[in-house]
Structure 1
Amino acid sequence: MAEQESLQPPQHQDTRPGRQEPMVPQPSETRPGYHGSGKLRGKVALITGGDSGIGRAVAVLYAREGAKIGISYLNEDKDAEETRRLVAAEGQPCTVVRGDIGQEDICRQAVARMIEEHGRLDILVNNAAEQHPQESIEDITAEQLERTFRTNLFAQFFLVKAALPHLGEGACIVNTASVTAYKGSPKLLDYSATKGAIVAFTRSLAMALSERGIRVNAVAPGPIWTPLIPSTFTAEEVETFGGNVPMKRVGQPDEVAPAFVFLASEDSSYMSGQVLHPNGGTVVNG
């Protein structure tokens, strides 16, 4: 078998969740050629996992489209402050909420902060997630299984419950799923299971909230260059990450963020219960 081409410098971070500052190259998150047109003017958006990666890119583009922003994050203070700086550079305020959204009280606090500081909530982006690769299901402990489900899935339930009293007609919920929900991943069994559940949650919630005029959709990214990658894979795996998709490269967060803009704006007014697939060309028929 031919040796896989090196796509990124080999690198690994020992702490989870990963930090963005040590990554080489730095992820592309601000999409310089993207010009806002007021698609989200006057809206207020809460984005979980907004400190870096896809969440940061979504925060920047939402701000560029006129939305006031709130982000939640676990403990990556420096990354969160950089997101705040980038959002401010777009002329919008950015509320920053620290804490583990796997705990329901933290989710309630995050929503309460948004209402306290901005008086409303129009868009909820359930983006935060974690993964812990294991060679075998036998290596997945009960603690890891619960942790992954709490962060990736339980938090989405908790946040929707907390946000729903404040979401009026025309509000939008956008969930982050994954290509692994459709094609699986032998070393990410628990992570893939959460992402499959998110697809089902998105479809069911869309039906449940339709009469209230609230749309619910999801985005299922493929291999994207975020801190999650060097913090969870070996240096050798990181070096070739993204090479197994038709485009033969890793995707950037700001190549995913426009899908979130579309689903939060009136451009997608006749879409609910659907999933978009920025994944480098992998056909999943889902």
Structure 2
Amino acid sequence: MIDVGLEGVHVLVTGANGGIGLPTVKLFLEQGAYVTAVYNTTSADLDSDPVITLHKSKNTCRTISLDVTSEQAVERTFTELYNEDSSNKTGGWPALSCLVVNHGIFTTPSVPIWEMTMEQFERTQRINLFGPFLLIRAFLKGYKTHLSSTISPEGNHNQILIAPPNIVIIGSTSAEFGEAGHVDYSTSKSGLTHGLVKSVKNEIVKIHPKGRINSVSPGWVKTGMAEESLKDEETRWRATATTPMKKIASPLEVAYQVLVMSSDVLSGHTTGQIVMVAGGMEGRLLNPKP
């Protein structure tokens, strides 16, 4: 078995109660990581999962509720995490060094831009784009402050060890090909993967020379968010029509790629990249099924 270097690494995963988030959390735990699993309004699946329950009892997993669109809440949460972990109040947790931004919304049914309300467009941007901005800003600010506190006046690091900062964004093929009827979603995801990731890769190295940020961008995935849409035969056909592998991804297939990108052992020289997990998808079909 390959040691991917995640044992003892503290990872924070947003959208942890969702279809991709839950298997991602469990994969990290299986690799020996400490996981702060973040949810918004419900933690039902996290609370009922036996793997999560086991690791909570071992004090290697904790769940917290957070409104990622609240600047005050995000700043307070990350300040508390770094302060508590660095002072060992949580039982010796390592300082946070890996952030997985997985949360997001996809509004149904489809709405063309001339019928889309400003309220819908703004809400999607607040959650899918502004939220990640707040999370990444607070994460890197907290990491930078904590890293500085571990350096002695002589320039040597104290015994508090911290892995290089690493960020993985869950993007979407919608950012690459657009999404008719969902301009709010495709705009938010494009801003993440093509604007934010490409910019932050040049900034994160100023905090740590091995700092990385990447995007894992799935196509259609069998999650609760997509379940209703995939009930439609034409939607299912369109989802695989330009995909050579002719299949819908499972949440676990996406989670494995997140794990790979989070590993400095497997992806230590990879940053600023958009890794597509979409079966080779080449684009969208505009005409109806013949």
TM-score by length of 2: 0.78
Q: Distance in 1 between matches of 2:129 and 2:272?
A: 17
Aligned residue runs from structure 1 range 214-229, under 5 A: 214-229=211-226
User: Who is 1:28 aligned against?
Assistant: none
Secondary structure of the residue aligned to 1:246 is coil
Q: Which has the higher contact order (CA 8 A, sep 6+)?
A: 1
TM-aligned CA deviation for residue 130 of structure 1: 0.2
**What does residue range 71-90 of structure 1 map to in structure 2 within 5 Å?**
71-82=37-48, 85-89=50-54
The aligned runs of 1:105-254 (5 Å cut-off) are 105-115=72-82, 116=84, 117=90, 118=93, 120-133=95-108, 134-167=110-143, 168=147, 170-199=164-193, 200-213=195-208, 214-230=211-227, 233=229, 235-236=231-232, 240=236, 242-244=239-241, 245-254=243-252
Superposition pairs of residues 88-99 of structure 1, within 5 angstroms: 88-89=53-54, 93-99=60-66
What are the ranges of 5 or more consecutive residues in structure 2 without an aligned counterpart?
Answer: 85-89, 148-162, 284-290
**Aligned partner letter, 1:257:** A
Helix, strand or coil at the partner of 1:181: helix
- Partner residue of 1:261? 259
Secondary structure at 1:240's aligned position in 2?
helix
User: What RMSD, in angstroms, separates the aligned Cα atoms of the two structures?
Assistant: 2.3
Go from structure 1 to structure 2 and tell me whether the alpha carbon gap of 1:234 and 1:252 turns closer, same or farther (over 3 Å shift): closer
Q: Distance in 1 between matches of 2:225 and 2:33?
A: 26
Q: 1:248 to 1:104 in 2, by over 3 A?
A: same
Q: Which amino acid aligns with 2:171?
A: A
SS of match in other structure, 2:69: coil
The 1:262–1:253 alpha-carbon spacing in structure 2 relative to 1, beyond 3 Å, is same
Tell me the distance in 1 between the aligned counterparts of 2:76 and 2:207.
24
The alpha-carbon distance between structure 1 residues 75 and 237, as it changes in their structure 2 partners (threshold 3 A), is farther
Partner SS for 1:209: helix
CA contact (8 A) 1:36 1:61 kept: no
3-state secondary structure, aligned to 2:213: strand
* Secondary structure of residue in 2 paired with 1:125: strand
Distance, in Å, in 1 between the alignment partners of 2:270 and 2:59 is 27
Q: Distance in 1 between matches of 2:214 and 2:4?
A: 21
Q: Which has the larger radius of gyration?
A: 2
- Which residue does 2:87 correspond to in 1? none
Structure 1 residue 149: deviation in Å?
A: 0.6
Show the counterpart of 2:32: 66
Contact 1:173 1:217 in 2 (8 A): yes
2:70 equivalent in structure 1: 103
Separation in structure 1 between the aligned mates of residue 130 and residue 44 of structure 2, nearest angstrom = 26
Q: Is the contact between residue 224 and residue 251 of structure 1 (CA under 8 Å) also seen in structure 2?
A: yes
The CA deviation string for residues 44-98 of structure 1, in whole angstroms up to 9 with x for no partner, is 0100001121111211111111110011112123123135x42344666222122
Q: Report the Cα distance in structure 1 between the residues aligned to 2:141 and 2:38, rounded to whole angstroms.
A: 19
Report the alpha carbon displacement of residue 146 of structure 1 after superposing the two structures with TM.
1.1
Paired with 1:76 and 1:229, the residues of 2 have a C-alpha distance of: 18
Q: Which runs of 5+ in 1 are unaligned?
A: 1-34
The percentage of aligned residue pairs carrying the same residue is: 27
Return the letter of the residue paired with 2:251: P
